[in-house]
Chain A
Amino acid sequence: MDNELGALTTIFTEFYYWITVVLMFLIHVGFCMYEVGASRYKHHQHTLMKNTLLIPLVTVTWFFFGWWIYWAFPTGPGIAPSIMTESTGLILGGGFGANELANPTNALMAVNLGDHIMGVFWAAFLLFSWTAASIVSGAVIERITTFAFGILAIAIGSVFWSIDAAWGWHFDGWMLKILGYHDAYASGVIHAICGGFALGILAVLGPRIGKFSSSGEPRNIGPRNPWLVCIGLFLIYTGFWGFYAACNIPIFNLGPEYGMEGVTYFTATNIYVTPTTLSGITMNFLLSLAGGLLAGYWISKGDPFWTYSGGLAGIIAASAGNDLYHPMQSLIIAGVGTVIAYKLHYWVEREFKIDDAVGAVAVHGYAGVVGLIICGFVLWGYPSSGYGVGSMWVGTDYAPINPLGMIIGAFIMFGVLGFLPGWILAKILHSAGKLRIPRDVELAGLDYNIMEQARKDERAVASSNR
């Protein structure tokens, strides 16, 4: 950095991502409050610890291999050639972010006076990873072991979402080229995959004791503290501002990037390096929140839990195309996504006896899938990348956004990278006897020993006179 303007741009970008990380931390605060509020008294502390521990576990594994995976897998490998290396193999070298730089032993993965971006960009992606694991965490409360959840959190937070991001949330990703996949604010790459992953686990894990009557009718359990749940969801909304901002590159000169001679065009871009504005996506974020809240209130007949969850489902449904939608399109798409997610939640619960304690599969998984499919129709014909326009299935150029590509993309996110790995890993943990806590522990409460000790301490203190 030897001139003022270059330094200002670099430091602004560094600070921009740093702020997004701080804001996104609120997502996690919200998830912790939400889960504890939804769990029963006798499970509170373990529920909190389970969610909290995903922070260090996903962080260290994201440093060890998650970030490396993101930069290595855009080509599949073997599906479409990289525009950087022109090979379909794993990307193992190249410029910023390319893989030799993203491995944990590289000089840039530390304090380095020659680089101001790697660390904050790594951290922004890490906060997405925490979100991924946290989405799964809520669905499985009160009966999964902390060990099993740790393994599953690492799998979704540092492996599978990282692969899907490389495939469909990277300027060089094969899903853009072959399918015309577009998912600007992660309807699929975070939400649909995590909903699918959670559903795969739940299918093996089974419901909480007492959730279904002997005739199979579902019963409502809690939430114990609806106000904590609501504040938690409000904090998740707040953190989502950071999430949206982190999905952008704040300032980028697209002229030379696209090879347009003599053209200088500075703009904010989405993760695919196509132009958008922070101003426009702010409107779309708010209108999709509004659409989800209105639809959630209407469909649940004023239930606070589903009204708040509807706000989240609305944002998630509109997120795939919120870089380009009109605000009213965001509003309507959010409303449609919320209603479908709500209906599907109860249908799946009744038909398949799936006990999703916080509605995570619906709010994230179903709303995410619906959002991807709708995006394919509404943005039909838009280029999926600024680097070139081609046709579907070819792979050497970029296919335009289209309904079929988005439907296949939704299937890959929810089914192939979400449900399937979740189900397989849960099966392995189950067969090793490590997935679910013993029945007697579930009945007594995970916190029983802690509570018993606290009661003894209380009595001892109360009976003391010195």
Chain B
Amino acid sequence: MATVTNWIDHLTASEVAGQVYPMVGSEMWWVLAGIIFWILWTVSTATGEAEEHEKLARKKHGSNDYKSNIAEW
């Protein structure tokens, strides 16, 4: 798992490897995981927003109704 286990060994090697993050070589999988996370987030929040708007629109509030909801704390 660890790319570096001893800094002295690492920095005195004949060629110092620049990559020090864990699991070198698995970058593609991490990027794919990131893309999946981004897409799922987008789908989930878009659905939530549409539902929230639909619910609020059904209540047919007037443009000044919010004034009775102004909290004063």
Contacts and interface: CB of A to CB of B under 8 A. Distances in A.
Interface of A: 41-42, 57, 60-61, 63-64, 104-115, 145-147, 150, 209, 434, 437-441, 443-445, 447-449, 451-452, 454-455, 457-458, 461
Interface string B25-54: 001100100110010001001100110111
B1 interface: no
Size range of the interface on B?
35 or more
B56 A147 contact: no
Nearest to A61: B38
A447 B66 contact: yes
B65 A112 contact: no
B52 A451 contact: no
Contact of B62 (A113, A443, A452): A443
Interface in B3-27: 16-21, 24, 27
Contacts, number: 107
B18 A115 contact: yes
13 contacts: A64-B34, A109-B27, A110-B21, A145-B49, A146-B49, A147-B49, A434-B46, A440-B61, A444-B59, A444-B63, A445-B66, A448-B61, A448-B65
Interface of B: 16-21, 24, 27-28, 31, 34-35, 38, 42, 45-46, 49-50, 52-63, 65-66, 68-73
A84 to B, nearest CB: 22
Contacts of B50: 147
Contacts of A113: 16-18, 20
Contacts of B62: 443-444
A458 B66 contact: no
A64 B31 contact: yes
Given A111-B21, A114-B16, A438-B53, A41 B66 contact: yes
Q: Which of A112, A115, A441, A447 has the most CB of B within 10 A?
A: A441
Nearest to B55: A449
B71 A441 contact: no
Given A105-B27, A110-B19, A448 B53 contact: no
Contacts of B18: 107-108, 112-115
Nearest to B52: A449
B70 A451 contact: yes
A440 B65 contact: no
Contacts of B61: 440, 443-445, 448
Contacts of A461: 73
Contacts of B66: 41-42, 444-445, 447-448, 451
Instruction: Across the A-B interface, give the 8 residue pairs with the lowest CB-CB distance, nearest first.
Output: A114-B18, A444-B61, A440-B57, A451-B69, A112-B18, A147-B46, A42-B66, A105-B27
Contacts of A115: 18
Nearest to B38: A60
A441 B57 contact: yes
